[in-house]
Amino acid sequence: MTVTDPRTTGAVAVSPTRAGLDDTLPFALALIPFGLAVGGASAAAGLPAATALFGAVVLLAGAGQLAAVDVLGSGGGILPVVLVVGLVNLRFVFYGAGVARWFTGLSLCHRLVLAFPIVDQTFMLCQERFADQPDLDWRRRYYLAVTGLLAGTFVVSQVIAFQLGSGLPPGLGLHLAAPLAFAGMLARAMKGRAEIVAGAVAAALLVAGAGVLGPVALPVAVVAGVAVAASSSPSVAPAAEERS
């Protein structure tokens, strides 16, 4: 299935899969150093390969994984890990609400499966694309292309870093990977008043809380920014009902 790309003048037909891959490629490339940083941190903390791979696939959230690795590396138990990761990943509650609205024509089970791999970049790209694209099948195929490329890139880069361990070059500056990944998203998203306000709130909280919250400051700031954006920006229209 191909449909007219809503961002063009109407003369170009593009498949949803191709559109998703094209839109996502820059963000996928930006995730590689982030994935390397998470995989390297897992190896440095002495985590078993099975545990590191489980976190990469099941959590699928770099900030949450880094927080979990930090707690496990310092000898923390499962309860502190769950509490910290839950706090860091609180923003996915907002993202899940977006998935429910984007795919209203699908069953609850189908929507829950689609919500599982969503990350920050997925939400931003789909929120932008789906505003002018009501076709449910187009949305679903676009979403699968976006999540597939992002998740695949992130998990594979983690596995590579974990296998390399101390073999990673020390001058890569991987400690900057997470802030740079979020900065790229912020630059792409700053298009209107709501986005500017959300970015300002997140930046203020990040600066104010850096000394108190440490590594948790970034995801907490992101949660606050997402909440502000969600409450002040118009919602994407629900998808048209799927027809048999």
- Domain map (residue ranges) of the chain: 15-172, 190-234
Q: Are 203 and 222 in contact (CB under 8 A)?
A: no
Phi first, then psi, for residue 106 (nearest 5°) are -100, 160
Helices (H) and strands (E) in the chain, counts: 11, 2
Q: Are 213 and 220 in contact (CB under 8 A)?
A: yes
Q: What pLDDT score was predicted for residue 243?
A: 44
69: which 2 tokens?
A: 């690795």
User: Maximum distance among all alpha carbons in the chain?
Assistant: 59
Q: How far, CA to CA in Å, does 36 sit from each of 6, 40, 157, 170, 222? A: 35, 6, 5, 12, 21
pLDDT in tens, the chain (244 residues): 555 555 544 445 789 999 999 999 988 988 888 888 888 888 888 888 888 888 888 888 877 887 788 888 778 788 888 888 887 788 788 888 889 999 998 999 999 999 999 988 899 899 889 988 999 999 999 999 999 999 999 999 999 988 887 666 665 555 556 666 665 566 555 566 666 676 677 777 766 766 666 656 666 676 676 666 666 555 566 776 654 4
